Amino acid sequence: MSRFSPFREELELKPEEHELFCELFRGIAGLSLGPQSRFSMERRLRDRLVALNLKSFSEYYQVLRFHPHARAEMEEAIDAMTTHETYFFREDYQLRAFQEELLPLLAKEKKTTRRLSFWSAGCSTGEEAYTIAALVLASGLVDDWDVRVYGSDISKKCVSFARRGIYGKSSFRSSIPVAYTSYFDRRADGDVEVGKSIRALCHFGQMNLTDADKTSVVGQVDAIFCRNVLIYLTDDARKRVISTLYEQLRPGGVLMLGHSESLLNVTTAFELYHLKEDLVYKRPPGTP
Amino acid sequence: MTDVAFIATKLGSAEPEVRRLAARSLAQLDAEAGAPLLAQALGDSDWRVRKEAVTSAQTMRPRAAVLVVLEVLLDKKDNIGLRNAAVLALRALGTDATQAAGRAFDTLDADGRKLAVEVLVGASDEGAVAVLARALSDPDENVRIAGVEALAAVKGRTATARDLLSTLLANELSTELRLACLRSLDALSAVLPMPLLEQTLEEPLLRAAAVRLLRHVPEKRAALFSAMALKDPQRTVVREALRTLCHRIQIAGVEELEIVERTLAPQADVLALLRQLLLSSDDTEVRSGAILALSLARAPEDASLFVDALADDQIAEAAERSLRFYGQNDGSGLLTATKTAGPVARGAAISMVPLVSRDGDAVLLLREALLAAEPDVVVAALRGLSELGQAQDLEQVRVLSSSQNPSVCVAASHTIAALAELYPEAAAAAWARASSREDVDLAGCVLAACAPAVASGHQIADAESRIGYLVRAAGHPEPRVRTAAIEGLGGFTGNADARDAVTFAVADEEPSAALAAVRSLAALGETETLTQVLGRSKDASLLGAAFDALRHVSEGQAEIARRLLSERLKKETDDTMRAAISFTLARAESDA
Ligand SMILES: C[S@@+](CC[C@H](N)C(=O)[O-])C[C@H]1O[C@@H](n2cnc3c(N)ncnc32)[C@H](O)[C@@H]1O
C-alpha cells in the first residue's frame, strides 16, 4: 500500500457520504438502503477504496460518478453492495410444488410446441437455475423437449461464476437428494460440478432488473423464479421489476417469489394461484 | 527626464541586465530620436542586449529612419558584433530591407557586400533575388559563396535560384564555389542534368556532394553511378552513396535494381565494407542503404544478416525489403537463416516466408515454427499456414486454438477458418472429431461456423447438430469460445434456436461476446431485436454496434434507427448516454 494511503480502519463513511451512496445505488440498481446500512456499507466498500488507493469515501463517490472507468467500478460497487447468498434446492417445499403441480400443468399447455423456458431472475451464482434444470429433467415429463433455463444477475462476477458450474460445500445446505445425484459430478478436489445434461439447458447473462435495458432478450418464458431479490429493493424499484417480469411472462405463465415476499401493495395484475403447499402468481391467460 | 535621456542613462549602465531592459524599451521610441541609442545597443558588448535591440528595431517607427541607421552600421568595420547585429536587424525587416541591402551591396567593400548578401538570407522578393544574382559574379570569392548559400534559403522563387546555381556550377572554376553550389542545389532539391552531374562526379572533392544529388535524378543511370560510388576510396563518398541508394531503392523499378545488382555482385571488398557499415555506422540511412545494397548483391552468407536486422527497429523496414529482394533468388537460404535467428527477428522472418517462398520447404518450416516457445513466432507461423497450409495442418492448428495466449488463440482461429475454406472436406471431418468429444471448444466453433458453409453439397455435418453444438458453446465459461460460437450462429438464418441463443447473448457479461451477438442479430435479420437494443441499451458500444448493424441492413432501417436515436436523445437524462448517442448520430451524419 502506498505510504500516503490511510490504514483501512481509518476509512470512515460519514453519514452525509452514506446518504450520497444510498441515492446512487438506489438510482442504479433500486437497492433499498436505510440509515442502518451505514456500517455494513463501510465494510463492504472499504476493499474498493484500498484497491484504488483512495483516501476517503468522498473520493470513491467521485470515481463512481465521473471517472472514465466509472461504469466498470460501479459494477464492482454494486457487486459488493448486494447479497449473493444462495444454494441448491433452496426452499424445497416450493420446488416440490413446482415440480409436482406446476410443471405437469405447464407441460400440458405446451404439449404441441414441446418448448418450455424458465427464468431465474437474480440467480446469483447460478444454483437456482441449475436446480430448476435438474427438477425439470428429473420430472420425466419433458424428455426430448426443448427446455431452456435462463439465469440472470446484475453482478458480472456471479454470472461468470455461474457459467463455470463448479461449486463447493457452501452451495449445498444438505446433501444432494438421491433423485438428483446423477445430474452432478463430484470432482477429485471435493467440489461438485454440474453435469452436462443440466448445463446444456442453462444460459446465463448479466441484467439489471430495475432497468428494462436488456431484459427483453429472454423472450417470453413459462415461469419466472425471482426469489429473495425484491426484498433488497425499494418500493419503486420493486414495482418496475414486477412490471418487467409481467411482460416477460407469457399469458398463463407463473411467477414464484421467495417465501417472505409478496405482491401485496405492488400490483394487482397477477392472479393468485393456490397450490397444495404454496401460493404463486399467475399472469392471467389471454392478457395481451 | 525625457524617455530618450532616461534610456540613454540605462544603456550606459555597467549592469548588462539593466542595459538589456533599456534596449527593450527602445521599441517605444521615435526612430529619428532613438537612432543613436539603437546603434549603441546593437553594438553592445553583451549579446543579450544586442538581441533585444534587434527585436526593438522591428517595432520602431518610422521604419525609413530605422533602415537608414542600419544601413550605415553595415559599414562599421571596427565592430564585428555591431555589423552582425545590423545584418540580423535588417533581415528581420524582410522586404523593407531589400533596397538598403542593394545600396549597401553596390557601395561597400567586399566585407560590406558579403554582409549585404547575408541580409537577404531567407528573402522572397524579386529585388532580393536580383541582388543575389549579382553577387554570383562578384569579384570576391567570399561574396560569391555567400550569394550561393543565400540562394539555398530563398523562399518562393526556388526555380530561379536553381537556374542561377546550376548555370554557375557549369561555368565556375573554383572548387570551393562549386561545392557550395552543389550543397545549395541539394537544399533546393534540384534535379540536375545527368551530364553536368557526371562531370562533377569526376572531381574527388565534389564527389560526395554530387552523389547526394543523384537521389533526385530520374535517369536509371543515376543508380549505376551511385553503385559505382560504393567502390570509392573515400568513406564520405561511400556513405553518401548508401544514403542515395537507400532513397532510390524505395522507388526503383526492376531495371534499376538490376543495374545495382550487376555493379555490386563481384566486388568482395565492397561487400565487406558494406557489412561493416551495416553493423557499425550510427547513421540509419547509411545502414539501410547498406543492407539494401547487400541484398541486391545476394551473397549466400548474408541471409542471416537480413533476418537478424528485422529485430533492429531502426532498419527493420529496409531489412524487410532486403529480405524480399534476397528471397526472390534464394528462398532456401532465407529459410535456413530463420532457424538460427533470435526470437524477435525470427517472428518477423517467419512472417515473411510466404512472400519469398511457397514450396514444400516453406511449409515444413512453418510447421516447425508452430512448436516454438515464443508466441510471436507461433503467430507468424499460423498466419503463414493460413496461406500455405494443407489439410493435415488443421489438427495441429486446432490444438493451438486453446492456447492461453490470446494472440495465438486468435491467429489459430483465423487459420482454421482459412484452411476450412481451402479444404472443406478435411474441415468437416475435423469438425466431426471435435464435436464427438465431450467439450465444446474454440476450434469446434470456428469449424462448425465455417466448414459446412463451404462444404455445402458435401452433406457431411448436418446443420442441426452444428447449431446444437454452437448453442452449447454459447454458454461456455471461456469468453473466446462464446464469442466465436455466437459469431458462428449468425450464419443460420431462419433457425429459432440460433436466434434465441444469439438474442440472449446480448446480455453476455463479456463485451466481445455481446458485440458478436449484435453482429449476428444483423446477420440473422433480427432487426426488431436490434431496434430494441438501440432504444434501450445503456451500453454505449452495444448501442453503436446496433446502430451500425441496422444501417447496413437497408436504407429504410437506417432511417428508423436514426429517428429512434434522435428521439432517445431528447429524452435521455444520463450525460454519458447523451454523449454516446450524439456521437453515434454525428458519426452517421459525417459518413453520409
Ligand atoms: C440473495 S440473492 C438470491 C439468489 C437466488 N434467487 C436465491 O433465491 O437463492 C439476490 C441476487 O439478486 C441480485 N440483484 C440485486 N439487485 C438486482 C437488480 N437490480 N438486478 C438484477 N439482480 C439483482 C444480487 O446480485 C444477488 O445475486
The pLDDT assigned to B269 comes to 86
Residue spans of beta strands (DSSP E) within chain A:
115-121, 146-153, 166-167, 184-186, 192-194, 202-206, 221-226, 249-257, 271-274, 279-282
Instruction: Choose the closest CB to A218 out of B475, B497, B504.
Output: B504
Angle at Cα B344 formed by Cα B339 and Cα B345, nearest 5°? 50
- Least confident interval from A203-207, B233-237, B421-425: B421-425
Instruction: Choose the closest CB to A164 out of B438, B477, B507.
Output: B477
Buried b (16+ CB within 10 A) or exposed e, A69-96: eeeebbbbbbbbbbeeebbbbbbeebbb
Cα A230 to ligand 1 centroid, rounded to whole Å:
8
**A84 interfaces chain B, CB cutoff of 8 Å:** no
The pLDDT assigned to B592 comes to 67
Same domain, A231 and A130: yes
Residues found in chain B: 592
- Its domain, for residue A207, covers 92-282
Same domain, A77 and A141: no
Considering the domain boundaries, does residue A23 fall inside one? yes
Considering the domain boundaries, does residue A125 fall inside one? yes
Same domain, A212 and A69: no
Q: Check pLDDT > 90 for residue B482.
A: yes
The pLDDT assigned to A3 comes to 42
Considering the domain boundaries, does residue A111 fall inside one? yes
> How close A208 comes to chain B (CA, Å)?
10
Q: Which of B344, B343, B323, B325 is nearest to B335 (CA)?
A: B323
For ligand 1, atom 9, the nearest C-alpha belongs to A86
Same domain, A40 and A174: no
B509 and A152 in contact by Cβ < 8 A? no
Q: pLDDT exceeding 70 applies to what percent of chain B?
A: 97
**A159 interfaces chain B, CB cutoff of 8 Å:** yes
The pLDDT assigned to B104 comes to 93
Using the 3D structure, point to which of A29, A53, A81 is the last residue of a domain: A81
Same domain, A255 and A125: yes
Considering the domain boundaries, does residue A2 fall inside one? no
pTM, full prediction: 0.69
Q: Check pLDDT > 50 for residue B470.
A: yes
- Average pLDDT per 10 consecutive residues for chain A, totaling 288 residues: 54 93 95 93 93 93 91 94 95 94 95 96 98 96 94 96 94 89 93 94 96 90 97 95 96 94 87 90 90
Same domain, A18 and A156: no
Same domain, A67 and A165: no
Q: Per residue in B566-589, pLDDT tens? A: 999 999 888 888 988 999 999 888
Using the 3D structure, point to which of A81, A106, A125 is the last residue of a domain: A81
Mean pLDDT of B505-525: 95
Considering the domain boundaries, does residue A87 fall inside one? no
Q: Residue holding cell 572554376?
A: B173
Instruction: Confirm if B140 and B165 have CB atoms less than 8 A apart.
Output: no
Pairing type for strands A115-121 and A146-153 reads parallel
Distinct helix (H) and strand (E) counts, chain B: 37, 0
ipTM for this prediction: 0.90
Ligand 1 test: best mutation among A229, A245, A259, most atoms within 8 Å of CB? A229
The pLDDT-based confidence of B458 (bands split at 50, 70, 90) is very low
- Ligand 1 atom with minimal separation from the A158 CA: 27
Considering the domain boundaries, does residue A56 fall inside one? yes
- CATH code of A212's domain: 3.40.50.150
DSSP structure class, residue B314: G
The pLDDT assigned to B402 comes to 85
Angle at Cα B406 formed by Cα B401 and Cα B407, nearest 5°? 90
User: ω into residue B266 within 30 of 0, thus cis?
Assistant: no
- Per the structure, the count of domains in chain A is 2
- CB contacts, 8 Å: A199 with chain B: 475
B536 and A163 in contact by Cβ < 8 A? no
Using the 3D structure, point to which of A28, A57, A81 is the last residue of a domain: A81
Considering the domain boundaries, does residue A288 fall inside one? no
Q: Residue holding cell 541471409?
A: B303
**A118 interfaces chain B, CB cutoff of 8 Å:** no
Mean pLDDT of B109-134: 94
Q: pLDDT exceeding 90 applies to what percent of chain B?
A: 58
Same domain, A198 and A70: no
Instruction: Confirm if B241 and B229 have CB atoms less than 8 A apart.
Output: yes
Same domain, A146 and A267: yes
The pLDDT-based confidence of B164 (bands split at 50, 70, 90) is very high
**B476 interfaces chain A, CB cutoff of 8 Å:** yes
DSSP structure class, residue A110: T
Considering the domain boundaries, does residue A129 fall inside one? yes
Same domain, A114 and A158: yes
- CATH code of A14's domain: 1.10.155.10
